[in-house]
A and B are shown apart, each in its own frame.
Chain A
Amino acid sequence: MWNATGVHRLLHLLRSAATSPTRNARTSVVLGRLLGLAFVVCLGTGLYSHWLQEPLPWMTFATRPVWLYQVTQGVHVTVGIACVPLLLGKLHAVFPQLFQWPPVRTPLQLLERASIALFVASSILQLVTGLLNTYQWYPWPFPFRQVHFALSFVIVGSLVVHVGVKLPLIVRYWRARDSYDAEGRFVEPDAALDPARADFAAEVELGRRRATGRAPDPGHEARGLVGRLQRWIDRDPDEVDEVPAGRRAPDAAAVAGREAATARRERVSRRVFFAAVGAATGGVVLLTGGQSFTPLVPFNAFGARVRGVGPNDLPINRTAAAARVLETAMDPEWRLTVANGATSRAFSADDLLAATQVDAALPISCVEGWSQTGHWRGVRLVDLVDSVGGVPEGGRLRITSLEERGGYRVTEMGREYAVDPLTLVALELNGERLSIDHGYPARVIAPGRPGVLQTKWLSTIEVLS
């Protein structure tokens, strides 16, 4: 019994079951536009964050406004979280397409369906890994950052393929007034635009007529469990209640009344759908965005970080214990070495505290999306580097931490940050000496850079030409 007809009937049943006024090409276009925009915003902000950490040789970056990275990365993570309801809504709108019959018509369509499978799978995985990264939970067997980066190209690539494949439908349903008739019922695409959809719409229409007794067609009744389920789904309960199918023909006025009621239900269903997606999107943004954006701080119910919570009233990513610097950082013999070729100077903590102190209000902005402005006090980095000859044009700094290992133990800093008067070797945070978890005895704080590059537990600063 498990032959092609059986599979066809099953797929048809699944499509009928999944049919809903909220699942059509117009709702797909509306949500697709929003989701596409959100994905592009995430790609742009993500690339910016990536290049800040791994710049191409010719790249220099803006150091003002000081909150630039705070905003781009806050947008990256918050828009990413907003994509959860948007993606669920989009997948909801296209779900019946999963049960097309025949599953594949042409070799080109095989590629299309394969690219959609890749698109859906990588989009879901990207949102899951991104969300879990905001609280540093990595239950998967692959590296987060590299896979998140590679998948971003796969996702945007398959998005562009998808737009190319669906372009005629997207153009057809771009405007609401072209998508619905005078009663507000969706105008199905013709067969030339979407053969699978047109076939299915015709079949559903036949099924509906059979069910309401208007065009009895017993020859095509499906048998067995699939048939019974299909009739249960197809048959309009109102019709069943009022007019037993096939016993007598309903009068024209009753049919018109029921069709008006159906059109109204369809309009309400669509409004419910968009209201639900909109409210859910607003809800997740409102209740998590407080980790990144000041106006949302009072509503931060679900953010992975809370501003003001942590040593020196500021959250931390990596503790001194995790970095294994508890002893080296507390060593009274600690020195900050600033070197330029053969010239080298060593500064003790007291030397640094005795030098000219500068105050700067700069945000710590992490790749995980959270950020908080701290009030830092310390020595200008440019003053320290000038004491060994300064950074030449086209030069940069190599900054090393006391950490024994870790991806950011040694980092490089472009000249634009090194000579910026706001870039500090910070000794105090929020009115107190730096906590050891914030990088005691001294750390870097520069405007507009990711937190992972604001090196804690400083050891050496070298000028590279």
Chain B
Amino acid sequence: MTVPTVPTSVPGGRALRVARLLLVLVGVAGIVLGAVVLVQDVSPTRYGGLLLWLAASAVLHDAVLAPVVVAVSLLVRRRGRRVPLGALAIAQVGVVVGVVLTLVVVPEIHAQRLGPRNDTVLPLDYGLHLAVAWAVVVAATTVAVAGYLVVRARRQKRRPSTDQA
């Protein structure tokens, strides 16, 4: 495999180079400020726990959530060829909306089970609401897919030779 040679200089004029240097310096200053604030305000006995939670955040995303998304999209890419592209697209939007809502609401349901600090915190039936939200997403997706397929079928009847999807 041919691997292009690595360039020694980064492209861009003098202004771009100066801007980059300034940004990196300001950014590093920001990180240092954050570290100073942390050292001032947080007891060193808590650093271990904080580092663990930081590392776990990255690992949870990079090693669990993202690979699952990659695996699912690979399967969709290979198995979804027989499904009309537009219908697949609409369904994917629906799934993403449902999954993101679930990610945001599941910790809330768990916190409610653990027992909130008073009755006015987490007063709703979040599990029921999540189920309703999924039902709405599924219904809206179904209607949109059906509408798309009807329009597509009509178009194909009119111009059978042009539509490939």
A residues touching B (Cβ–Cβ < 8 Å)? 17-18, 20, 81, 84-85, 88, 91-92, 95, 98, 105, 115, 117-118, 120-122, 124-125, 128, 131-132, 135-137, 140-143, 146-147, 149-165, 167-168, 171, 191-193, 195, 198-199, 202-203, 206, 220, 233, 237-238, 261, 264-265, 268-269, 271-272, 275-277, 279-280, 283-284, 287-288, 300-306, 309-310, 315-319, 322, 437
A88 to B104, CA, bound (A): 12
Contact of B108 among A88, A135, A192, A319 (CB under 8 A): A135
Interchain CB contact under 8 A, A157 and B29: yes
Pick the contact of A149: B4, B35, B37, B118 (CB < 8 A).
B37
Residues of chain B within 8 A of A198, CB atoms compared: 4
Closest B residue by C-beta to A162: B27
* B132→A91 contact, CB < 8 A: no
Tell me, rounded to whole Å, the shortest Cβ–Cβ distance linking A298 to chain B: 13
Given A132-B111, A158-B31, residue A283 in contact with residue B100 (CB < 8 A): yes
Give chain A residues whose Cβ lies under 8 Å from the Cβ of B65. 88
Contact at B46–A117, with CB atoms within 8 Å?
no
Question: Is residue B129 within 8 Å, beta carbon to beta carbon, of the partner chain?
Answer: yes
Task: Given A91-B61, A125-B54, decide whether A150 and B38 contact each other with a Cβ distance below 8 A.
Answer: yes
Nearest-neighbour CB distance to chain B for A226, whole angstroms, equals 15
A261 CA to B165 CA, complexed, in Å: 9
Main secondary structure of the interface of B (DSSP, over half): helix
Distance in angstroms from A407 CB to nearest chain B CB is 13
- Chain B's nearest CB lies how many Å from the CB of A134? 9
* Neighbouring A residues of B122 by C-beta, 8 Å: 135, 304
Q: How far is the CA of A309 from the CA of B5 in the complex (A)?
A: 65
Is B50 within 8 A of A142, CB to CB?
Answer: yes
Q: Are A157 and B124 in contact (CB under 8 A)?
A: no
Q: Enumerate chain A residues within 8 angstroms of B154, measured Cβ to Cβ.
A: none
Q: Do A310 and B119 form a contact, CB below 8 Å, given A168-B10, A272-B93?
A: yes
Dominant secondary structure of chain A at its interface with chain B: helix
Contacts of A203 in B (CB 8 A): 1
Q: Give B31 Cβ to nearest chain A Cβ, in Å.
A: 4
A147 and B108 contacting across the interface, CB-CB below 8 Å: no
A95:B31 contact, CB within 8 angstroms: no
Q: Name B62's closest neighbour in chain A (CB-CB).
A: A98
Q: Which residues of B contact A152 (CB under 8 A)?
A: 34
Contact of B16 among A131, A168, A271, A304 (CB under 8 A): A168
Contact with B78, one of A135, A191, A237 (Cβ below 8 angstroms): A237
A137, B114: Cβ atoms closer than 8 Å: yes
Give CA–CA (A92, B70) in the complex, Å.
Answer: 9
Residues of chain B touching chain A, judged by Cβ–Cβ distance below 8 Å, are 1-7, 10-12, 16, 19-24, 26-35, 37-38, 41-42, 46, 48-50, 52-55, 57-58, 60-62, 65-66, 69-70, 73-74, 77-78, 81, 85-86, 89, 92-93, 96-97, 100-101, 103-105, 107-108, 111-112, 114, 116-124, 126, 129-130, 132-133, 164-165
B34 and A157 form a contact (CB under 8 A):
yes
Contact pick for B20, options A149, A156, A165, A272, CB 8 Å: A165
- Cα–Cα, bound, A264→B164 (Å): 10
B123 to chain A, nearest CB (A): 5
Closest to B90 in A: A272
Q: Given known contacts A195-B6, A265-B85, A310-B120, is B34 in contact with A131 (CB within 8 Å)?
A: no
| Nearest 3 interchain pairs by C-beta | A157-B30, A164-B23, A141-B49
Report Cα–Cα, A128/B24, bound state, in Å: 27
Min CB distance B125 to A, Å, is 10
Bound-state Cα–Cα, A150 to B43, Å: 13
CB B98 to nearest CB in A, in angstroms, measures 9
* A135-B108, A238-B81 known; A167+B133 contact, CB < 8 A: no
Contacts of A220 in B (CB 8 A): 1
Neighbouring B residues of A193 by C-beta, 8 Å: 11
B31 touches A268 (CB 8 A): no
A81 to chain B: which residues have CB within 8 Å?
Answer: 104
B129 contact from A275, A302, A315, Cβ within 8 A: A302
Q: Once bound together, how far apart are the Cα atoms of A292 and B1, in whole Å?
A: 56
